[in-house]
């Protein structure tokens, strides 16, 4: 357990320093340890300066939260969508090397979330991994509907064939049908 805690703390501190410095650096026009220092001036050209400021402040706050052990789980939760978005952007822009670094950061962040998984269970309204399995089983129809929606929109987009919209509609109907059935069934039980 000591080795796992050491890895956790190392990842937490590395990510905290990287993102805190990156957020600060953007305000001074430098890159910090990662990220473009030119973000403000580049996004300002498109009237997105406030968005750039938001990104920099978010990085700063996330880095700060990761450095404080008590708040590191909140920081790791906030970092996950941010680092995932950064990874998608650098892949889309064909930046060389950066996707690898961001992929490593994403894996480090995933480890932090896995390490603190017991703190995340209450968000899902459960207490342990066994209940997580039951929850996934209980929501399987919803998840299938979501899978159909995602598959349908991606196939329609990448193939330019709008016939795939029927897959999306099927997913939507699966979710609505399950929600309607549960509502009706719960209502019947209460009567």
Domain residue limits, the chain: 2-121, 139-190
The model's confidence at residue 162, banded by pLDDT at 50, 70 and 90, is confident
Q: What is this structure's pTM?
A: 0.79
- Rounded to the nearest integer, the mean pLDDT of the chain is 89
Check whether 62 has a pLDDT greater than 90: yes
pLDDT at residue 71 in the model = 94
Per cent of the chain over pLDDT 70 is: 97
* CA gap 123, 129 in Å, rounded: 13
Check whether 188 has a pLDDT greater than 90: no
For 89-135, write each residue's pLDDT tens digit: 889 888 888 889 999 999 999 999 999 998 988 988 888 888 888 98
Check whether 190 has a pLDDT greater than 70: no
Contact 120, 73 (CB under 8 A): yes
Name the range with the highest mean pLDDT among 62-71, 133-142, 162-171: 62-71
pLDDT at residue 191 in the model = 59
b vs e for 40-61, b when ≥16 Cβ sit within 10 Å of the residue's Cβ? beebeeeeeeeebbebbebbbb
- The mean pLDDT of 169-189, rounded to a whole number, is 86
The count of other CB atoms within 10 Å of the CB of residue 122 is 9
Contact 46, 37 (CB under 8 A): no
For 1-44, write each residue's pLDDT tens digit: 799 999 999 999 999 999 999 999 888 887 767 777 777 888 88
pLDDT at residue 123 in the model = 87
């Amino acid at each position: 357990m000591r080795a796992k805690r050491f890895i956790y703390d190392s990842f937490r501190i590395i990510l905290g320093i990287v993102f805190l410095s990156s957020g600060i650096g953007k305000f001074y026009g430098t890159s910090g340890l990662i990220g473009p220092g030119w973000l403000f001036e580049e996004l300002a050209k498109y009237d997105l300066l406030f968005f750039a400021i938001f990104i920099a402040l978010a990085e700063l706050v996330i880095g700060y939260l990761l450095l404080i052990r008590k708040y590191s789980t909140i920081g790791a939760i906030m970092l996950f969508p941010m680092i995932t978005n950064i990874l998608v952007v650098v892949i889309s822009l064909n930046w060389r090397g950066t996707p690898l670094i961001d992929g490593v950061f994403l894996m480090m962040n995933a480890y932090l979330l896995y390490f603190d998984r017991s703190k995340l269970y209450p968000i899902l309204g459960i207490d342990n991994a066994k209940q997580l399995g039951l929850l996934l089983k209980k929501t399987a129809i919803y998840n299938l509907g979501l899978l159909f929606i995602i598959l349908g929109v991606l196939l329609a987009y990448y193939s330019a064939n709008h016939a795939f919209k029927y897959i999306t509609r099927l997913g939507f109907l699966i979710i609505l049908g399950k929600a309607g059935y549960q509502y009706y069934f719960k209502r019947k039980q209460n009567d």
